[in-house]
Amino acid sequence: MKIAVVGATGLVGSTMLQILAERDFPLTQLIPIASARSVGKEIKYKDKFYPVVDIEQGIAIQPDIALFSAGGSTSLEWAEKFAAVGCVVIDNSSAWRMDPTKKLVVPEVNGHVLSPEDKIIANPNCSTIQMVMVLNPLHHAFKIKRVVVSTYQSVTGSGQKGVDHLLEERKAGSSEKPFYPHPIDLNVIPHIDVFLDNGYTKEETKMILETQKIMGDDTIKVTATTVRVPVMGGHSESVNIEFEQAFDLDQVKNILAGSEGIALLDDPAQNHYPTPLKAFGTNEVWVGRIRRDESLDNGLNCWIVADNLRKGAATNAIQIAEYLVKNKIILEKQVL
């Protein structure tokens, strides 16, 4: 099985390579793809070195799966060309997420929607992924009416330029090439992606629309405020949920503790609750600070944290690939 990683030298792409190795994904050939300035370099994967090729060379090799993490414009230009040679594209950009002909997938939530006809599969927004992981099992139990979410998103969600901006400010007090519209160190910026005509940002709109699509229920009302914080890895979310049905807190905790991919950390008396440092380098979605919203009937507050480069991006994409292989939606090729 030939696996291409498009954008292999970027933050998410390099994390994809790391996770493919950690999870021992059944590949026989790795095809790292990057821009012209990286072509010819070698990437070490396990005990072998693989040359970086350009995107046209990558298509010519005819990979079975291509993990895309090179931005929306690259995905729009090239994903269909990979699909045309029989490759399944799992795309980490926003290019295909709201296309009604494309599946938007978190395997633990809606992996069952995948079929052999899906040649371009969208990986959701990082903040949406970790939120729906918690919402979905609770929705099945108590039926969600409305969600209010405020995010605290790491600079790694902006890519290397966001990381560089923060590090330069911490070292020198300012950045020679600022990426954000305001200082980020010792600050928070309530502005992720571009502002739309209704005053919401594109990031906030993604969370609203993607949640409904992934969970297959457009009656779930979502409102979001997304905020960039001076954290190096891991997105956090304060989530307020209103259910149609009454619930018991112990029942909520038991449901979450028994859900695949979720780590419950909720013992405030011992100061045990999720933080970005706790989630960093892990593939789980962490949840804690679970308590009633006493201002309304059937209201719940919780705090959700995940490593945005892993479950929020690379791990989820690879889990989609694993689901395709495990369920024989893509057949492994036998090495003779």
Residue of 254, 239, 249 lying closest to 303 (CA atoms): 239
Torsions phi, psi for 81 (to 5 deg): -70, -35
Residue 335 near residue 4, CB atoms below 8 Å: no
Strands 262-264 and 285-292: parallel
Residues 6 or more apart in contact with residue 7 via CB below 8 angstroms? 13, 33, 34, 68, 69, 70, 71, 74
> Between 11-22 and 315-326, two packed helices, what is the crossing angle to 10 degrees?
40
What residue has token string 């979502």? 222
Looking at 158-298, which runs of residues are DSSP E strands? 221-225, 235-243, 262-264, 285-292
Active-site choice (87, 139, 165, 235): 235
The structure tokens listed for 159 are 């890519």
Name the catalytic one among 87, 126, 165, 302: 126
Contact 16, 33 (CB under 8 A): no
Q: Which of 181, 179, 183, 155 is nearest to 169 (CA)?
A: 183
Distance between CA atoms of residues 39 and 180, nearest Å = 29
The answer to whether 54 and 38 are in contact (CB under 8 A) is no
Q: Which residue has the tokens 């005819």?
A: 62
Active-site annotation holds for 126: yes
* Helices marked H in the chain: 11-22, 55-60, 72-84, 107-110, 126-142, 160-172, 202-215, 249-257, 276-279, 315-326
CB atoms within 10 A of CB 140: 12
Describe the crossing of helices 126-142 and 249-257 by its angle, rounded to 10 degrees.
130
Between CA 237 and CA 216, with CA 275 as vertex, the angle to 5 degrees is 35
Q: Specify whether 302 is catalytic.
A: no
Residues catalogued as catalytic: 126, 235
